Amino acid sequence: MSAIDEVKQRTDIVEVVSQYTTLTKSGRTFRGLCPFHSEKHPSFFVYPEQGSWHCFGACATGGDVFSFIMKKENIDFGEALRLLAERAGVSLPTRLEPGAKREEKERLYQINEAAAQYFHDLLLNSKASEKARNYVADRSLSPDTVVRFKLGFSLNSWEALKQHLTDIGYTTDELLTAGLIKEGEGGKLHDYFRNRLMFPICDLKGNVTGFGARALDDSMPKYLNSPQTPVFNKSHTLYGINLATQAIREKDTAVIMEGYMDVITAHQNGFSNVIASMGTAVTEPQINTLKRLTKNIILALDADEAGEEAMLRCVGYENTLDAEVKVITLPKGKDPDDVIREDSTMWQQLLDKALPVIDYTFDMITAELDMTRARDKTLATDRLLPIIAEIKNPIRQAHYLQKLARLVNVDERRLEAELARLKPAPRRYRDKEPETKAAGQALRTMLSSPVEEYCLALLLQYPELKRYQPQPSPEHFENSENREIFTGWHQAGDLPALKSSLNPALWEHLDYLLDYLKKKEVPTNQIERRYADCVLNLRKKYLQSLEVRRSEIFALEVELGGAGADLAKLKEEGIEPSAQLLEVFRQTRRKAKSQGAKE
């Protein structure tokens, strides 16, 4: 069984999607507001039996759990696989990171380290960095702290860093890949960071992966991060993790803040188990990094930025950690940096009084509601019950259901009935990998799409079919691995180029497709006809699936008493797919008649 198949088997798409939007059970499906665009009427549906999703609104697209994560987190297939594999507890073979890529990463670490040293030397010794040194002094940072965090300064120059790094042997292509220079107007290359206080960002092992930079004048943005590179991904990064690891293990707690200065001030004052999330949104990859060190996490984030989506995510993080996530309530208008510099004992008190995130959410949601009014009780229930539904631990879930019942003064059994309607379906996977080859093949068959695979096998075996028109659309491939290979094949010149362009995790599936026709030889005079039939069947399968799903939604809207305008919109949206499906059936009949006449 391939790594991709095992991740699919062990991943519940409802659980994954529920971390980004609230889903409500509707028959055999789940529905909710689309997490990709703003809307008031739910047009986003999840199909647990097929392991797929579809937005019938503005997105008008769908796919499997891999395509969902790729779209939501803006990452490629390989990153989505790694994220989902870690979430599902699946170990990916080390061969999925080829030696060439490891060598490239090592080279990028070396370049970033050289840049960090260059910036650091400028901060300590250059006359041009006086403003940066004054800023550091104003923030009460000690010389030891400046050295420990290797703070630096980038000159107000277009080519100073580029010149320095090329002088010591690095190429401009390498600097571009590292995100240290960029291409400007007319194709001219110049430094990415200029006239800024520099914060080197490291991974767990202490490798410099990228930089954060604060403007020292009126330049915007005020804070600038390295672009995404082969070694730097902002959503996967925790600032200060290399210096906080030991303290997190010793205290069995990690405190997540937002800013670089928050972390540096905390460490200088003895709170060394602190890291920053590189922004206001804590991500699942960051939580997965921390859970190797501790299950106890405290958030010290800006309360104004804490939305219900963030709270939903935090419940997901609690499920991942199997422990409570807590939240510090900061004094209004204060950052952790301000509190710690003014009174470190007050900061310790805030840590001691940190609230479990769901209690914090209760307080946040009900703060401006009048819980003696029926309308406000309904609002509180509508917003809190979906969050309670996401809690996996039955004892904790029962505790918060009782708390909500007391808060709104409603019989707990009524809330239990509503909770049952909201709860995701139980996960359906075996804990152990099938032990026999036959079982692995059976699983592949269960997870595969024969029409998609036959179409791809023909296309790969007979490259001349790339010129055939019409070609299928990438949307017609619901399995992400098939979609990735289809898209890559049309962009590649030959099979070696295709393989090198694909994530190594897809190589096994590619080999499977290349072997697909070995025992099913296609007569030369039938190749194009077989492919044409396949393209037509693939399109028919896609449109039929769309039609069935749209019909189910329409029936559900009628059952729930949907507004006339909503029903009319659904009818209107269904016209185009229905017309396309009718045309496919006509083409099928014409082909059948034509072949019958020839015979």
Beta bridge partners of 73: none
Contact 7, 88 (CB under 8 A): yes
Residues 358, 384: Cα–Cα separation, whole Å: 9
Residues 65, 81: Cα–Cα separation, whole Å: 10
Residues 197, 136: Cα–Cα separation, whole Å: 9
Contact 195, 155 (CB under 8 A): yes
Other C-beta atoms closer than 10 Å to the C-beta of 188 total 10
Residue 96: which residues within 8 A CB-CB, separation 6 or more?
3, 78, 503, 504, 505
Q: Nearest-5° angle of CA 318, CA 386, CA 60?
A: 100
**Residue 160 has what pLDDT?**
96
Question: Smallest Cα–Cα separation from 283: which of 250, 262, 309?
Answer: 309
Q: Report DSSP state, residue 228.
A: P
Contact 388, 404 (CB under 8 A): yes
Residues 509, 479: Cα–Cα separation, whole Å: 12
Domain 107-232 has CATH 3.90.980.10: yes
Is 221 exposed, middle or buried, given 0-12, 13-18 or 19+ CB atoms closer than 10 A?
exposed
Helix (H) or strand (E) holding 320: helix 308-321
**Residue 310 has what pLDDT?**
55
The CB-side HSE value for 375 (13 A sphere, CA atoms) comes to 3
The DSSP annotation for 42-67 comes to: --EEEETTTTEEEE-SSS-EEEEHHH
Residue 88: which residues within 8 A CB-CB, separation 6 or more?
6, 7, 10, 11
C-alpha dihedral, 505 to 510 to 513 to 519, nearest 10°: -110
Q: Nearest-5° angle of CA 540, CA 545, CA 546?
A: 100
**Residue 127 has what pLDDT?**
95
Return per-residue pLDDT of the chain as tens, 599 residues: 577 888 888 898 998 998 888 888 877 788 888 988 888 878 899 988 888 898 888 888 888 999 999 888 777 888 888 888 888 878 776 554 445 567 888 999 999 999 999 999 999 999 999 999 999 999 999 999 999 999 999 999 999 999 999 999 999 999 999 999 998 877 789 999 999 999 999 998 899 999 999 999 888 889 999 988 889 988 889 999 999 999 999 999 999 998 899 999 999 999 999 999 876 568 778 888 888 889 899 988 665 554 445 555 677 778 777 788 898 888 888 889 999 999 999 999 999 999 998 998 898 888 889 999 999 999 999 889 988 988 888 899 999 999 999 999 999 999 998 888 776 544 444 444 444 444 444 434 444 577 888 888 888 888 888 888 888 888 888 888 888 888 888 877 778 888 877 877 788 888 888 887 766 677 777 788 888 888 888 888 777 777 766 666 656 555 555 544 444 444 444 434 444 444 544 555 555 555 554 54
- What are φ and ψ of residue 513, in 5° steps? -70, -35
Tokens of 38: 């703003």
Other C-beta atoms closer than 10 Å to the C-beta of 596 total 8
Q: Helices in 65-98 by DSSP H: which ranges?
A: 65-73, 77-88
**DSSP helix, strand, coil percent of the chain (3-state; round to 5):** 60, 10, 30
Residues 406, 535: Cα–Cα separation, whole Å: 59
Tokens of 536: 């037509």
SS3 233: coil
Q: At what angle do helices 357-366 and 394-408 cross, to 10 degrees?
A: 20
* Beta-sheet pairing, 274-276 with 325-327: unpaired
Tokens of 441: 């093949």
End-to-end CA distance of the chain: 43
Tokens of 120: 């650091």
The single residue listed with the structure tokens 């940190």 is: 354
Question: Smallest Cα–Cα separation from 457: which of 517, 528, 518, 521?
Answer: 517
What b-and-e string marks burial along 21-41, b requiring 16 or more CB atoms within 10 Å of the CB? Answer: bbbebbeebbbbbbbbeeeee
C-alpha dihedral, 192 to 196 to 202 to 207, nearest 10°: 60
Residues 7, 375: Cα–Cα separation, whole Å: 44
Residues 132, 116: Cα–Cα separation, whole Å: 15
Please state which CATH class domain 3-95 belongs to: alpha beta
Contact 165, 177 (CB under 8 A): no
Tokens of 434: 């099938």
Please state which CATH class domain 448-599 belongs to: mainly alpha
Beta bridge partners of 64: 52
Q: Report DSSP state, residue 186.
A: G
C-alpha dihedral, 239 to 242 to 246 to 251, nearest 10°: 10
C-alpha dihedral, 40 to 55 to 490 to 499, nearest 10°: 100
Question: Smallest Cα–Cα separation from 267: which of 290, 286, 240?
Answer: 240
Tokens of 298: 């405290």
Q: Nearest-5° angle of CA 584, CA 473, CA 467?
A: 95
Beta bridge partners of 32: 44
Residues 550, 548: Cα–Cα separation, whole Å: 5
Domain 236-368 has CATH 3.40.1360.10: yes
**Residue 420 has what pLDDT?**
85
Predicted TM-score (pTM) of the model is 0.60
Residue 581: which residues within 8 A CB-CB, separation 6 or more?
540, 543, 544, 547
